[in-house]
Amino acid sequence: MKGRGQIVTTGGSSSSDKGAALSSHFRYDVFLSFRGYTRLKFTDTLYHALINKRIDTFEGSLLEAIERSMMSILILCHKYPTSQWCLDELIKIMECSENGRKPPVLPVYFNVAKSDVQFQLNEYGKAMAAHEEKGR
């Protein structure tokens, strides 16, 4: 399933030059960021539902695809922060969002409490502490 749907993007055309330039920058409607653990239990279903609704979706791990996607969906599970690649994707997603190149990120909490992610508790706290320790 790695890769994107072969469907034309659903974004409408804009009348302004700025809007047209911005929309031409994007190649995908959605970028899915996830840990492999969620693939069979959730991510495959979400990916195919988006494709069936004609939402051009990239699923995989390419930083350029993040830049070329109109939005990102994070499938956050307890193992997400234990992956350096997932954390690298998250950093890139947040950089793009903060630079105004795309709307805010849509988080999906898969078998993990929102408060664990938000306040870095339990597995998230341990993983983020380990990540910080590596960076020193």
18-40 pLDDT, tens digit per residue, is 344 445 678 888 888 888 878 87
Query: Burial, 93: exposed, middle or buried (Cβ in 10 Å; 0-12, 13-18, 19+)?
Result: buried
Report whether pLDDT(111) > 60: yes
**Model-level pTM?**
0.66
Could you report the per-residue pLDDT of 118-130, keeping only the tens digit for each? Answer: 999 998 888 888 8
Confidence at residue 31, expressed as pLDDT on a 0 to 100 scale: 85
- Give, in order, the Cα–Cα distances in Å from 74 to each of 1, 12, 71, 93: 17, 24, 10, 9
Q: Which domains does the chain have, with CATH numbers?
A: 3-135 (3.40.50.10140)
Q: What is the largest CA-CA distance in the chain?
A: 49
CB of 43 closer than 8 Å to CB of 34: yes
Look-up: residue for tokens 């947040």?
Answer: 94
Confidence at residue 102, expressed as pLDDT on a 0 to 100 scale: 62
Instruction: Give the active site residues.
Output: 89
Could you report the per-residue pLDDT of 30-67, keeping only the tens digit for each? Answer: 888 888 878 877 888 898 999 999 988 876 667 888 88
Confidence at residue 114, expressed as pLDDT on a 0 to 100 scale: 95
